[in-house]
């Protein structure tokens, strides 16, 4: 099939939920992908922060293929090695004590919300079941994670939504204090609002959230689905905010391209969910976990993190030198670029795709989530296309 054939069948048979660029990718290596005609695309997206090690990383591919050839799945009635190894690595690195595995970010957040509610109800009474989240947040596409998402556009069509959420403006400590009452069991936030425009949340606000959670015995949940797995220059973004959440949700980069989500729990929350209270048929899948184990082995290395930070600084400098970019936001290799008045992010992304560069958008900004292993040469090639497109 050529690209046109793929796109034709796509619009015929795939549900109409995605507005796709007219690009059909068939293979890739590193941060470079190729379409059905062999045209090259520099990838500043890693599939929305998923392909942490880029396309077809040799070690990752081998780890995944070996596991697929040995044991691709068993039910959660039995134990297996890959999920145990990933959980052990996560706990040893972070100090968290237990992990629950699911298959996606939304599911990881569902798990986190179940923990927050059950903790609140058990510790503080039946009415203690409200979770505070932030305005302009994004937490997923299930009915409950849509409810948790603090953007009105997501609260349409699918009524009735799950009750029990209150939204506070990021950075507004007074509004946060006003929202706290006896019904609140937890606070959940992204430290950099990814879909919301790559908007970092204010340090003092995050510190206050952590303090209130401690003081009131609330569950402090950090959604690291986009910011985690060394994306922001530390293994998890909360390390840079000097706080210690009770629950962290992970997904996207964790599997290096295979579906996996995880909920990490500390000593306060590790025993909240008991037998039969949560589960997932595919959760902890051995192949996904073999991929995750390989990813963690790479991205947890201090020298890997150092490289991520160097590349991030290099990319940021290049972006800020482009006259049509007003300023950049974000941390590490999670970057947003505010465009000069008159430039529309979606249109720029479309032109970039035509010219052989894949970029994301978030609200009015361009968003960059390149593979963490992107080379300087790939950065240069991508930047050259971006500059050309922005010049018009
Ligand atoms: C992508 C994302 C999610 C949802 O993850 P899915 O795997 O698409 O369900 C939730 N929270 C944040 C912060 C995300 O970036």
As a whole number, mean pLDDT of residues 163-180 equals 98
- The response to whether residue 67 sits with its C-beta less than 6 Å from ligand 1 reads no
pLDDT value of position 152: 97
Task: Tell me which residue has its CA closest to atom 15 in ligand 1.
Answer: 226
- C-beta separation of 334 from 197 below 8 A: no
Give CA torsion, residues 289, 99, 50, 11, to 10 deg. Answer: 90
125 Cα to the center of ligand 1, angstroms? 30
pLDDT value of position 241: 98
pLDDT band for 46, please (50, 70, 90 cuts).
very high
As a whole number, mean pLDDT of residues 338-356 equals 98
Query: How far is it, in rounded angstroms, from Cα 21 to Cα 17?
Result: 13
Q: For residue range 123-169, what is the model confidence (pLDDT) as tens digits?
A: 999 999 999 999 999 999 999 999 999 999 999 999 999 999 999 99
pLDDT value of position 289: 99
Which residues have C-beta within 8 Å of that of residue 184, sequence separation ≥ 6?
120, 128, 130, 131, 132, 166, 216, 218
Q: For residue range 101-115, what is the model confidence (pLDDT) as tens digits?
A: 999 999 999 999 999
133 Cα to the center of ligand 1, angstroms? 15
- The response to whether residue 226 sits with its C-beta less than 6 Å from ligand 1 reads yes
pLDDT value of position 323: 98
225 Cα to the center of ligand 1, angstroms? 6
pLDDT band for 193, please (50, 70, 90 cuts).
very high
Q: For residue range 201-220, what is the model confidence (pLDDT) as tens digits?
A: 999 999 999 999 999 999 99
Q: What is the mean pLDDT of the chain?
A: 98
pLDDT value of position 27: 98
Q: How far is CA 333 from CA 8, 106, 392, in A?
A: 34, 22, 26
As a whole number, mean pLDDT of residues 15-38 equals 97
pLDDT value of position 261: 98
pLDDT value of position 295: 99
pLDDT value of position 372: 98
- The response to whether residue 194 sits with its C-beta less than 6 Å from ligand 1 reads yes
pLDDT over 70 percentage in the chain: 100
Beta strand 199-200 pairing with 192-193: antiparallel
């Amino acid at each position: 099939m050529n690209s046109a054939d793929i796109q034709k069948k796509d619009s015929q048979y795939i549900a109409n939920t995605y507005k796709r660029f007219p690009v059909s990718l068939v293979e890739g290596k590193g941060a470079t992908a190729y379409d059905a005609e062999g045209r090259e695309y520099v990838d500043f997206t890693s599939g929305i922060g998923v392909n942490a090690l880029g396309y077809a990383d040799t070690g990752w591919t081998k780890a995944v293929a070996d596991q697929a050839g040995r044991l691709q799945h068993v039910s959660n009635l039995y134990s297996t090695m890959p999920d145990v190894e990933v959980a052990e690595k996560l706990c040893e690195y972070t100090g968290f004590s237990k992990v629950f595995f699911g298959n996606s970010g939304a599911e990881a957040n569902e798990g986190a919300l179940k923990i927050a509610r059950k903790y609140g109800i058990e510790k503080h009474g039946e009415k203690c079941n409200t979770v505070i989240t932030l305005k302009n947040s994004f937490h997923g596409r299930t009915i409950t994670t849509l409810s948790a998402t603090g953007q009105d556009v997501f609260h349409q069509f699918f009524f009735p939504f799950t009750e029990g959420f209150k939204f506070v403006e990021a950075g507004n400590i007074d509004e946060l204090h006003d929202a706290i009452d006896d019904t609140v069991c937890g606070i959940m936030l992204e430290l950099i609002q990814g879909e919301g425009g790559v908007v970092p949340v204010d340090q003092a606000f995050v510190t206050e959230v952590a303090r209130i959670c401690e003081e009131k015995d609330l569950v402090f949940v950090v959604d690291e689905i986009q910011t985690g797995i060394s994306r922001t220059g530390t293994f998890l973004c909360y390390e840079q905010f000097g706080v210690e959440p009770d629950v962290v949700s992970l997904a996207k980069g964790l599997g290096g391209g295979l579906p996996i989500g995880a909920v990490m729990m500390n000593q306060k929350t590790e025993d909240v969910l008991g037998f039969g209270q949560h589960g997932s048929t595919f959760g902890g899948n051995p192949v996904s976990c073999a991929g995750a184990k390989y990813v963690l082995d790479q991205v947890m290395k201090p020298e890997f993190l150092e490289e991520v930070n160097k590349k991030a600084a290099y990319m940021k400098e290049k972006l800020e030198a482009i006259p049509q970019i007003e300023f950049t936001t974000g941390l590490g290799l999670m970057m947003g670029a505010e465009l000069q008045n008159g430039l529309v992010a979606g249109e720029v992304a479309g032109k970039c795709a035509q010219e052989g560069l894949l970029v994301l958008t978030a609200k009015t900004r361009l968003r960059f989530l390149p593979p963490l292993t992107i080379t300087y040469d790939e950065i240069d090639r991508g930047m050259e296309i971006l500059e050309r497109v922005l010049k018009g």
